[in-house]
Amino acid sequence: MRKRVLPILVLLLASPLACKQVTAANPVLLTANFADPNDLNAMSEFKSCVGHAFNGPNSAKNYFWPNSTNFSTNGVLKFFAVCNGVTSQNSDDTSDPTESILGQTIHLTCDSSSTAARYFHITYPPGSLGHHVSAGDLLGYATMLPNGSQPAPSWQKSTNFEIVVVEGDDSRSEDYFSKLDAPTFAAWSARGITSISQTIVPGNPSCTSYSSEIPFPGIVVFSPLR
């Protein structure tokens, strides 16, 4: 009996079916938007010169601006889970210099995949990290007004916020819109976004300066304004 069992064991150990699939090779599309598109009035293109340098010679992430009814607020603009997954924080999140000033930063790692979303400037319920959530679940709220600060005079001058979609690790960011499945991306058509090409700067430009002032190249203002 032992002579027959040993080859079977070797076969099982050598077979890919006997091993857990490597998640770094399993990107997934996001099935819910991180915020209601109608709550937003503008966004920055991926790899623009908006904000600051991030993961390269430009800003490899997307910033968003609130609309005219919720700018400079805390606990109003809702953030939702973009996929089924688990929320957490790592050292990249807790070392963010804006932690505790303008909310916090968290990860949502999508189930059985290499895909994760980083939410910046979020205030979330105490004790909610480490729990499994479903796409579309409420995660928390945007934090756009530091303690003791006066509200901005308009949405254009309001503090913005960002979401970063990463593959495998935080240094590999991708355009948020390119990671949406078709129904989720279609929700942006009511805000004038109908093509991925509207959300990404062509090529890989090197930025010599950055700005978050509207108007500025790389900032797309939605239509109609809310």
pLDDT confidence band for 113 (50 / 70 / 90): very high
What was the pLDDT predicted at 91? 85
Domain holding 140, by residue range, is 22-221
Rounded Cα gap, residues 187 and 184, in angstroms: 6
Has residue 5 been placed in a domain?
A: no
Task: Flag whether pLDDT at 17 surpasses 70.
Answer: no
Asked if residue 9 is part of any domain, the answer here is no
- pLDDT score at 2: 43
- The amino acid that residue 47 corresponds to is K
Largest interatomic CA distance in the chain: 81
pLDDT of residue 6: 37
pLDDT at position 100 is 61
What's the average model confidence in pLDDT over 117-145? 96
- Asked if residue 6 belongs to a domain, the reply is no
Cis peptide before 224 (omega within 30 of 0): yes
Q: What is the mean pLDDT of residues 113-124?
A: 96
CA distances to 76, 100, 110, 149, 159 from 140, in Å: 9, 14, 17, 21, 17
Tally of domains within the chain:
1
User: What's the pLDDT tens digit per position in 52-63?
Assistant: 999 999 999 999
pLDDT at residue 178 tops 70? yes
Q: What's the confidence (pLDDT) of residue 96?
A: 65
pLDDT for 146-171, tens place per residue? 888 899 999 999 999 999 999 999 99
> Could you tell me if residue 37 is inside a domain?
yes
Determine the average pLDDT of the residues in 106-126: 96
14 is a domain residue: no
What is the residue-averaged pLDDT of the chain?
89
Counts of helices then strands in the chain (DSSP H, E): 3, 11
pTM of the model: 0.86
Q: Which residues contact 207 (CB under 8 A, 6 or more apart)?
A: 49, 53, 57, 58, 59
**C-alpha closest to that of 138 among 35, 62, 63:** 35
Q: Is residue 11 part of a domain?
A: no
Evaluated on CA atoms 98, 99, 103, 105, the torsion sign reads positive
Q: Where are the alpha helices (DSSP H) in 39-125?
A: 91-94
Tell whether 4 is covered by a domain.
no
Where residue 217 sits, what CATH number does that domain have?
A: 2.70.70.10
What are the distances in angstroms from CA 198 to CA 52, 117, 175, 183? 20, 21, 11, 17
Residue 1: pLDDT over 90 = no
- Kindly state the average pLDDT of the residues 72-99: 89
Structure tokens at 52: 């600051």
10 found inside a domain: no
pLDDT at residue number 89? 93
